Every structure is written in structure tokens, then in C-alpha cells.
Structure 1
Amino acid sequence: MRVKKKKRVERMVLDDGQLLGSSEEVHEGAVQFFQHLLMAYSVENDDSTLELMLPSVQENEELCTMPSIEEVKATLWSIPSDSSLGPNVFSTSCFILAWDIVKDDILGMAK
């Protein structure tokens, strides 16, 4: 009978060359790394950049209009045929093959 060895990191070398030689040091090093990685940093807001992001009246009207059936179809056809939203969801090719049946429902979802 073969006994499976538990995999564990026993040593680690940090970017600065420091060697972590025990399990406890590796654990602490990993905790510090992820605390630093996931730490939120404050950012100064520069309100002058907001002017660059404001849509024009025409752009805003275009963003608020409902998509046409042609736009929805073109978008669906641009997605790789083997793509899906998750493991239990139909692939894009399923919707393309059944387009005549599902197009009104899909357009309704886009609205």
C-alpha cells in the first residue's frame, strides 16, 4: 500500500533574498505577503479627470437606447461558440443554432 505524502512548503526564498527555513516562517511570510497584496491604499482624487469621462448628450442618448435585434445578434455571433456563462449554462453555439426560436427572449433580456 502506498502512503501519500502531504505536500507542504518547507522553505521559501523571498524577492529580497531572505530565506524562510521553517514551516512557521513560511506561514508568516505567506500571511504578510497576502496582507500586503490585498491591502487597500488611499488614492487622491483628481476631479479634473472627471471632465474627460463625462459623455456628451449624444453619447448619453446612444447609451440609453435599447439595442436592435441586429446589434444583439452581431454581439452573440462575436462570442466564441464554445463559451458559456458557467458550467451549467448553454454555450453560445446553442443560442446561435436556436436563434429563430430564442431571439425575442434574448432581445428582451438585453432590454
Structure 2
Amino acid sequence: MAGMLPNEFFTPQSMLTLTGATGIVFVVTNGLKTAFNLAPRWMGLAIAQVVAAIGVTLSGGGGMDYFVGVINGFLIFSTAAGVSSAGGSEGATPRGDVLNADDIRQGRKLETRRRFWSSWF
């Protein structure tokens, strides 16, 4: 059984599957979102398109294969976005952090921090 364990998490071969490409997009987008507190929608789409283009290149495709790769990029993005929605909505306010009347008058808002597993939308 020990010989059946993979030596690597992602390989060029696993990246060429929908599951592998979706995993890459999900993990990279959420990692960047969490590290830099970025909005992930467009970033996820861009990463999905790059992953799809790399997949076409690694498989030796050309011409029409790149068009199909763009369509596959949207499929990868949609799948990764669907996985992210399983995390629920953004958690906007940390527990115990509240605004008082003076804060509201001064226009202070609570800072929202994006969690790793949260919806991209």
C-alpha cells in the first residue's frame, strides 16, 4: 500500500484533469485572497484561463485547441467558484467587535477580512 501513495500533490498530468485544474485555481485564488485581502472573482477567472492555456501547451495543442482551452478555463473557474460557495458568505465582523454611536457618526466601518474558505461572490 505504501507504494501507491503519490510523491507529489500536483503533477503536469494531474493538472490536465478538471479536478486537478480546479484544485489549483481554488487553492491559488484563496491563498492570494487570504494573503492580500483581495476580491477573488476576476483573479480566479484569470488563474483558470492561465491554467487552461498551460494545459493546452503541455498537451501539445495548437490553433483550435486554444479556443477549446478558453472554454475549459471557464469550466474550471465555474467549478472552483462553486466549490468556494460551499464555504458560505464572507464573515464580515469578528466576534465582539462593535461600533458605538461616536464611531458611526465619524463614518468608521469595521474592517472585513476575507477568510480562506468563503464564497467568491
TM category (shorter chain) comes to under 0.3
Rg larger in 1 or in 2? Answer: 1
TM-score, normalised via structure 2 length? 0.24
TM-score, normalised via structure 1 length? 0.25
